[in-house]
Amino acid sequence: MRNTLRASLRRAGIYTVPLLLNLFFFISLQATETLTWQQCLDEAKKAHPDLYSALASIQQSEADKRITRGALLPRLTSSLSAQESGSTEKGGSSAPVYSYSLSAQQLLFDGHKTSNMISSNEEAVKAARQNYIAVSGDVRYALRAAFTELLKAQDLLGLTREIADRRRMNVRLINLRYNGGREHVGSLGQARADLAEAEFEVSRAQRGLVLARSKLASALGRDAHTPLSVRGTYSTARMPPGIPSFELLAKNNPLFQQLDLQRKAARYDLKAARSDCVPELYLTSSIGRGAVDRVPFDALDWNAGVTLSVPIYEGGIGRAKVSRAIAVVSQRNAEEKSGYLRILDTLEEKWKNFLDAFQMVSVRKKNLAAAIERSTIANAQYSNGLVSFNEWVIIENNLVSAKKDFLNAEADLLIAEAQWIQAKGEWLDG
C-alpha cells in the first residue's frame, strides 16, 4: 500500500513540476511589456534625458540672445533717498532731506558692436538646434542598437533551446547505439559534452536576455528597469540605387552644420571685438528733485542730452580681445574643415559596412539552407551506418554554427543600417 502511494506521488510530481514551470512562465509573459519599434521611438522622444539636456542648451542660447538684445532698448532707473543729519548739541537735529529721480538712457551708436553680438547669438542658437538634432541622432542609434540586441537575445534564447533539445536527442541516439555495441564510449562522451555546452549556451542566453532588457530600458530613458520584450523583424529598407553623394550628405550633416554656424558666430565676435575701440553715443534724460525737505511733485527738475564715451587707454585689453577673437576664428575654420573630412570618412565607411552586412545576410541564408539539407541527409546516413560519428558530428556542428551565423548576420544588418542612418544625420523626428 505504501509503495503504491509513493509511486502515485512520484507520478504526480512528474506532472506537477512541469505544470508549475509552465504556469510561472505564463505569469512572466503576462508581466512583460511588449514594445514595437515605433513605440520605442515615441517614448524616447518624450523621456530621454539627453534630449532634455540639448533642449536646455537651446534655451540658454536664446536667453543669451535676449540679454544681448536688451542693450538696444532704453534703460530706465529710479532712485529715492532720505537723509537726516544732526549733532550732539541741544537742538542740533534737522529735518529729513529727500531726493528722487527717474533716469533714462538710450544707446544711439556703438560701432555696430551690439548688433554683431546679436548676430553671433543668433548663430549660436542655430548651432544649439543643430546640436539637438545630432544628439537626437545619437539617441536614435543607441535605441535601435538596444532594440536589435533585445530582439536578437529573444531569438537566440529560442535557438539555444532548440539546439539543446537536438543535442539531447543526439545523446539518446548515441546511447542506444553504444548499448547496442555500434558506437564507442568516446562518441558518447563527445555527445554529452556537446549537450553540456548547449545547456550552458541556454543559460548564457537567458542572462543576455536580462541584460538586453536593461539596456533597452536605459535607451528609452526609463528609471525603472521592468521586464521588456520587443516585437519586430530583421527587415531593412530597400537599398538606395547607386552610390549616394557623400559630399552633399556631409555638408547637410548636423555636426557639420553646427561647426559651420560656430565659425560664423566667431566672425561676428571678431567684428564686435574690433568695435570695442569705437566711441559710444547715448541719449540721456532725467527728471526729479534733490535735497528738499518734502516730496513735492508740482515742481520737478529735468534734463536731457547726449553722452559720448570715448575709450582712451584700457591697458591693452581691447587689442588682446581682438587677438583672441582672431585666434578663435582660425580655430573654428580648422575645426570645420577637420569635421567635414571626418564626417566624409564616416559616411563612406558606414555605407561600405551597410553593403557588406546586406550581402552577408544572403550568404548566411544560403549557408543555412545547405547546412539543413546536409544535416537531414547525414542523420539518415548515420542511422543506417553509412557515415562515421566523426563525419556526422562535424555536419551537426556546422548546422549549429550556420543557425547562429544567420541570426548574427540579420542583427548585424540592422545595426549597420542604424549606423548609416546616424552617419547621414537623421534623427528621431527625421
Cell 509573459 identifies what position? 29
Q: How far apart are CA 285 and CA 77, in angstroms?
A: 11
Confidence of residue 206 (pLDDT cuts 50, 70, 90): very high
pLDDT, tens only, 327-341:
999 999 999 999 999
* pLDDT value of position 400: 95
pLDDT, tens only, 119-145:
999 999 999 999 999 999 999 999 999
Q: How many domains does the chain have?
A: 1
The answer to whether residue 430 sits within a structural domain is: no
The answer to whether residue 4 sits within a structural domain is: no
Q: Which three cell numbers stand for residue 215?
A: 539596456
Q: How far apart are CA 253 and CA 138, in angstroms?
A: 13
Q: How far apart are CA 393 and CA 177, in angstroms?
A: 15
| Residue 322 pLDDT exceeds 90 | yes
Percent of the chain residues topping a pLDDT of 90: 69
Q: How far apart are CA 234 and CA 204, in angstroms?
A: 22
The answer to whether residue 5 sits within a structural domain is: no
The answer to whether residue 223 sits within a structural domain is: yes
Nearest residue to 392 (alpha-carbon basis) of 158, 194, 180: 194
Whole-prediction pTM value? 0.84
Q: Other C-beta atoms within 10 Å of 357: how many? A: 21
The answer to whether residue 239 sits within a structural domain is: yes
The answer to whether residue 2 sits within a structural domain is: no
Per the structure, the complete domain to which residue 267 belongs is given by 31-82+94-424
The answer to whether residue 399 sits within a structural domain is: yes
When pLDDT is averaged across residues 23-43 and rounded to a whole number, the result is 75
Going edge to edge, which strands form the sheet with 280-292? 75-83, 97-109, 280-292, 301-309
The answer to whether residue 252 sits within a structural domain is: yes
| 417: CATH | 1.20.1600.10
| Residue 80 pLDDT exceeds 60 | yes
Compute the C-alpha angle 65/116/56, nearest 5°. 20
Percent of the chain residues topping a pLDDT of 70: 88
- Residue 208 in contact with residue 411, Cβ under 8 Å? no
